[in-house]
Structure 1
Amino acid sequence: MMNLLKQDIELLNQKGITEEMLRSQLSFFQKGIPPVVLAAPATTNDGIMVLTDIEKERCVSWFEMKKEELDIVKFVPASGAATRMFQSLFTFLKEFKPSEESFNAYVNRMMAPELQVFYVGFEKFPFYKNVERYIAEKLPEFNSLSDSWQKWHLANVLLDKGALNYSSLPKGLFPFHQYYDSIITAFEEHLYESALYAVSQQRARLHFTIAEEHLTLFQHKFNNVEKEISQKTAVEFSVQYSFQKQRTDTLAVTSDNIPFRDENQQLFFRPAGHGALLENLNEVQSDIVFIQNIDNVVMRRYEPTIAYYKKILAGKLLELQERSFKYVSQIDSGVIKKKELPELLEFLKELNVVVPTMVHKYTKKYMLEYVRRKLDRPIRVCGMVKNEGDPGGGPFWIKEEERWSLQIVESAQMDLENEEQRTIFKKATHFNPVDMVCGLKNYKGEKYNLPDFVNYNQAFITRKNYQGHVIKALELPGLWNGAMAHWNTIFVEVPLTTFNPVKTINDLLKPAHQPKNV
């Protein structure tokens, strides 16, 4: 074990990281983390449910009937900065020399067709008028400039710290949608959307995980729009914010697994990925939680479709949860008869629990203990979308110590150098859009302690660059990956129309983000 300096101990105390936690992190680097072993892709009717229209309507009705009795929260990871949306524009501003080459020559040289798309569609972006207004005030000579210089200035006005500086905004507060009377951010769209399903007693509760430095910006935006959105939706809003906890940061090491120190000789810790947000989710007090990323929103005319599928997922969760609660309650009351045991095992199959053959030979006592252990855990119902392009992270059956379980697995967790694993990966038919509903309480209404259900062996190690140094970083098991590995998991097919993320600026040109008349 490393020898800690006085300043190291002070830093650990400041972050809330114990020496035992530090040792555990170091051991992951030293021992390595084996990749997840894929057994098979989850496909329709083998891990992914395809509901009939009648079943969909039943789920919606069930949710509508039950929701007024429930505490409901919409949980939105929203700490991402808008910066990542503009990578090609940042490169353009740095590399393009308008006096020396044409715009088309640059696009061809850099193989950057996305820039052509950006400028052809420029007037369709919600920020277009703001850029135009700024240029009219600050760059009166703009119209006399060459096409190359005009394009350079448009990008510079958008991103430069001395101009509109949009790249410094959190993604949730970046202008996403243009309506006839206003420009709306992703944050506001989440409020409008939640009013269509995440409501109980005329109140919608939302929880955004954000970067601490953006808190004032989010609060200011909410204070400005709350009254108007409440009037338009006839819903009251309760919005909470939380930050990724410093105690979830992980130590970086050198290529030789020696703790890395920064230029001030301090141990260097990094945020450990979205798996760290399990701590935030664990503090949410509610019966069910909808989880959705900040950038997966649509124009309001599409929101009823989104809400319909959210209700389907929630209805399916409540239906399965009610049966699970009934069985656990009956086990605890001692009223289950031996002849009812096959019914319990059949229900486990509905929850995608692969029951080992030996369990069928158990005595009644041990079988009930097994069933109770499998049922008494959080439950999630996740939407899954058919792959349109290359497969990425998605739903798979995985194998651990000869036991199969249904999981959401990222490609970074897999051994894609292994031909057998690569073949399974390529057979994937669906991907994970991060569209899920979670049940966080047991049948007595007691909240589960979510860290109890994490598979910590699903952490993964990545290589990063820090000021010219190659370092190894430890990512905690992803929030919907290893952090929920020991939950009961149900996958339901949902249409591609429910998945409209904005990863690059050009995604805002897609129909789901454009006004109807465009």
Structure 2
Amino acid sequence: MFTDKDIRQIENHGLTQDKVIEQIARLKSGMAFSNLVEAATINKGIFKFDKHEIQQYVDLYNDRLNSLNVLKFVPASGAATRMFKFIYQFLKDYHEDEERLGHYLKTHKNFWVFVNGLEKLPFFHEVVSQIPNYATLEIEEKYIAFVNVMLGENGLNCSSCPKGLLPFHKYNEEVLTAFHEHLLESTLYASSNNKANLHFTISEGHAKKFQEELSRIQEHVEDKTGTKFEVSFSYQSKSTDTIAIKSNNELYRTPEGHLLFRPAGHGALLENLNSLDADLIFIKNIDNIVVLEQNKKQSEFKKLLAGVLLDAQEKAFNYLNELDKDSVSEQKLLEIAMFLTHRMNVKLDAEFDDFTFNEKVSYLYKKLNRPIRVCGMVKNEGEPGGGPFWVKGSKGDVSLQIIEFAQIDVDNKAQKAIVKHATHFNPTDLVCGTKDYKGNKFNLQNYVDHNAAFITLKSQNGTEIKALELPGLWNGSMADWNSIFVEIPLSTFNPVKTVNDLLKPAHQVL
């Protein structure tokens, strides 16, 4: 199948022939859809706590914080290109004509929202400062000049900027990037003993820019917050890239005759997460960050998730120590089984009651001794899609999972009906415990559902190709973790997917 030149390319990529052959087989066999049993809802996979309970968990976390090594993990490799898609469409479709402009604004709501909110954009004054005589220009000239400077290589070049380094918020005269805001936010819930550890996964091509931004702001932020920042970066490893093939299952080759390898989605970041050493790891996307005053309110819900994890982890560790003893009782085994069922959302084997005593000990030990994640879930007030579901695995076991919409066979009426009953979705707001009861790091690669990979159709130089994405970081890559889902307010979810999202109240300093 492979030439000597191919083999050298594979090896230079940090891959093996067997690994690539396995990827090709997966692409050829097609994507395995998840087998949904029912949507996870309140009291059926999602916990909802009252104010008193929330405060108890927050207090627990606050009490333990200074004895913990806490880290905040932020996927930040994406460029801002997609944020400006409708702006590029304007540049392509619009021709200067005042009457046509009015029509264009009526028929393109996104652009109408954008131009009506120009002055609220955090980079408005920086853009305008680069446009001679901006105030005297005709309205259509203003819009065209503004977007050209905003996007142009000789201007702000926003669309080519890493999303993490895009200006997100403006406080009086100070403009802060998303990266800057994450440092500030970490002091509210993810710092201990006046020290905050943050790890950003970035594109290698953006490394210099991130380092420059850190150098520019670190001393100022440390003085302002009284916190010492330890910031590290990593890249998505080339060895996690996956091969692409044509839609007819033949190998795709570039015009130069090379095989085509592509980044394998955020599931590839499991390797980055696996290399980190911390007691608690918060995970939050780079674009889901709001202005500081709102962060102060929302930080309580991060502490809630961490408190829930610490409480569950302490109980799990105590039970694991009990299972290590020769004197563990049958009554204790029943107590552990109830804990797994009611707190860890583990569906026990239907034959568990018929297991021998030693079989029960071994079974419960394996179920308990796993990484733990506590994930925030918000009410779904829009169209139903991916989120928390009870899912049946290939061996017939049922478990609680976070499922992407792409993993659901919506052509199957029964599966589609389950999706319609979904009440919550995943805002990617979670805290992880990645050490066992003896203080050793889990090897997170041992808890992945490799069948939960994604297959997508792309276009490469005019040829349709099939691309493989590894199981999502908080989807299939954490499939065999113990999972606890907790309802948190919708106000905690404010991602910036388009430039217009920066105009929303959560991103405006009032």
TM-score, with structure 1 as normaliser? 0.96
Q: Percent identity?
A: 46
8 Å CA contact retained: 2:40, 2:46 = yes
- After superposing the two structures, state which structure 1 stretch, 416-425 or 59-68, moved more: 59-68
Deviation by residue 1:10-41 (Cα, 9 ceiling, x = unmatched):
21111100111111101102222320011100
* Count of matched residue pairs: 508
Name 2:366's counterpart in structure 1. Answer: 373
Deviation by residue 1:227-250 (Cα, 9 ceiling, x = unmatched):
111112111100000000000000
Name 2:376's counterpart in structure 1. Answer: 383
**Aligned match of 2:255 in 249, 256, 263?**
263
Name 2:277's counterpart in structure 1. Answer: 285
Aligned-partner Cα distance in 1 for 2:196–2:89? 41
Name 2:28's counterpart in structure 1. Answer: 30
**Aligned match of 1:392 in 369, 377, 385?**
385
Aligned-partner Cα distance in 1 for 2:334–2:57? 25
Aligned-partner Cα distance in 2 for 1:334–1:75? 39
Name 1:112's counterpart in structure 2. Answer: 108
Aligned-partner Cα distance in 2 for 1:144–1:280? 51
Deviation by residue 1:234-286 (Cα, 9 ceiling, x = unmatched):
11100000000000000000111112111111000110100000000000111
1:471-486 aligned within 5 A? 471-486=465-480
Deviation by residue 1:347-393 (Cα, 9 ceiling, x = unmatched):
11110000122101111100010000001110000000001111222
SS of structure 2 residue aligned to 1:33: coil
What root-mean-square deviation, in Å, do the aligned CA atoms of Structure 1 and Structure 2 show?
1.2
- After superposing the two structures, state which structure 1 stretch, 197-206 or 326-335, moved more: 326-335
Residue type at the aligned position of 1:91:
Q
Aligned-partner Cα distance in 2 for 1:29–1:307? 42
Name 1:92's counterpart in structure 2. Answer: 90
SS of structure 2 residue aligned to 1:385: strand
Please state if 1:126 is matched with 2:122.
Answer: yes
Aligned-partner Cα distance in 1 for 2:14–2:156? 38
- After superposing the two structures, state which structure 1 stretch, 326-335 or 77-86, moved more: 326-335
Aligned-partner Cα distance in 2 for 1:106–1:512? 28
Please state if 1:343 is matched with 2:327.
Answer: no
Aligned-partner Cα distance in 2 for 1:301–1:150? 33
Name 2:237's counterpart in structure 1. Answer: 245
Name 2:453's counterpart in structure 1. Answer: 459
| Cα drift, residue 75 of structure 1 | 0.2
| Cα drift, residue 461 of structure 1 | 0.7
Aligned-partner Cα distance in 2 for 1:113–1:29? 39
| Cα drift, residue 72 of structure 1 | 0.9
8 Å CA contact retained: 2:402, 2:475 = yes
- Residue ranges of structure 1 left out of the alignment (5+ in a row): none
8 Å CA contact retained: 1:102, 1:148 = no
| Cα drift, residue 145 of structure 1 | 4.2
Residue type at the aligned position of 2:379:
K
Pick closer, same or farther for the CA change 1:99–1:319 going to 2, 3 Å: same
Aligned-partner Cα distance in 2 for 1:336–1:230? 50
8 Å CA contact retained: 1:378, 1:488 = yes
| Cα drift, residue 144 of structure 1 | 5.0
| Cα drift, residue 101 of structure 1 | 5.7
SS of structure 2 residue aligned to 1:257: coil
Aligned-partner Cα distance in 2 for 1:112–1:389? 21
Name 2:350's counterpart in structure 1. Answer: 357
Residue type at the aligned position of 1:462:
T
| Cα drift, residue 166 of structure 1 | 1.5
SS of structure 1 residue aligned to 2:446: helix
Deviation by residue 1:395-423 (Cα, 9 ceiling, x = unmatched):
01111233210000001011001111111
Please state if 1:504 is matched with 2:502.
Answer: no
Name 1:447's counterpart in structure 2. Answer: 441
Please state if 1:407 is matched with 2:401.
Answer: yes
Aligned-partner Cα distance in 1 for 2:85–2:99? 21
| Cα drift, residue 335 of structure 1 | 3.0
8 Å CA contact retained: 1:38, 1:397 = yes
8 Å CA contact retained: 2:379, 2:424 = yes
Name 1:322's counterpart in structure 2. Answer: 314
TM-score, with structure 2 as normaliser? 0.98
| Cα drift, residue 467 of structure 1 | 1.6
Pick closer, same or farther for the CA change 1:107–1:468 going to 2, 3 Å: farther
- After superposing the two structures, state which structure 1 stretch, 371-380 or 226-235, moved more: 226-235
Please state if 1:214 is matched with 2:206.
Answer: yes
**Aligned match of 1:423 in 417, 441, 457?**
417
Residue type at the aligned position of 1:126:
P
1:8-23 aligned within 5 A? 8-23=6-21
- After superposing the two structures, state which structure 1 stretch, 387-396 or 333-342, moved more: 333-342
Please state if 1:58 is matched with 2:56.
Answer: yes
Aligned-partner Cα distance in 1 for 2:458–2:105? 29
8 Å CA contact retained: 1:196, 1:307 = yes
| Cα drift, residue 100 of structure 1 | 8.2
Deviation by residue 1:470-498 (Cα, 9 ceiling, x = unmatched):
10000100000000000000000000111
Aligned-partner Cα distance in 1 for 2:465–2:311? 47
8 Å CA contact retained: 1:275, 1:483 = yes
Aligned-partner Cα distance in 1 for 2:84–2:497? 9
- After superposing the two structures, state which structure 1 stretch, 156-165 or 39-48, moved more: 156-165
